[in-house]
Structure 1
Amino acid sequence: MDRIKGQVVEILAPNRVLFEIAFVGNYNKRNYADVVEVRFTDLTPPYDKDASGSEIIGILNNSILGVQASLQVQSKDVDGTLVGRLKLEGVAFRRKRKLP
């Protein structure tokens, strides 16, 4: 499986994002464009399952837009969309630290 790293630059749908590639794995079998569309299959959803599509997109805009991530590419859809597991890497700490 190929691996790529980069940044989430736009949320397209509840399970699709535009991904700007910064690094590619040394042993990748395919070449990729600078910006690719990704359909993620495995990402712990930061939203309620009962929320509507537009609500989910709004929540994803607030939580993963601009975040550094890596993608383990599993396959490619007919339309050229990459399918894989998206792992967030640059999530900011937004709460107070708990003191012992």
Structure 2
Amino acid sequence: EYQGGGFSISNLGMYSIKSFYAIINPPQSCILSIGNTRETPMFDKNGNVIKKHVMNISLSCDHRVVDGATGAIFLNTLKEFIENPSLMICY
């Protein structure tokens, strides 16, 4: 099942898990952990309280293969794509 892969995605959101840290499946170098989405009160640009859907994600990396800073850049890019899907067209 993991043969030949370098990256896994583990989604436990359907079990109402808010967040978790997944263990890398050797010989892969990274695994992305996805929690559930939930409504959370946040402030909009005008200071009004609004409901927003939020989701926790985390990335575990084998630092022999992937530098932590590179992983952080990947997570930030993924966040931007999730929040603004139209950005994927321009990327």
Q: Is the structural similarity TM-score above 0.5?
A: no
Q: TM-score range by the shorter chain?
A: under 0.3
The structure carrying a bigger strand percent of its residues is 1
Q: Which has the higher contact order (CA 8 A, sep 6+)?
A: 1
TM-score normalised over the length of structure 2: 0.27
TM-score normalised over the length of structure 1: 0.25
Which entry has the higher C-alpha Rg, 1 or 2?
2
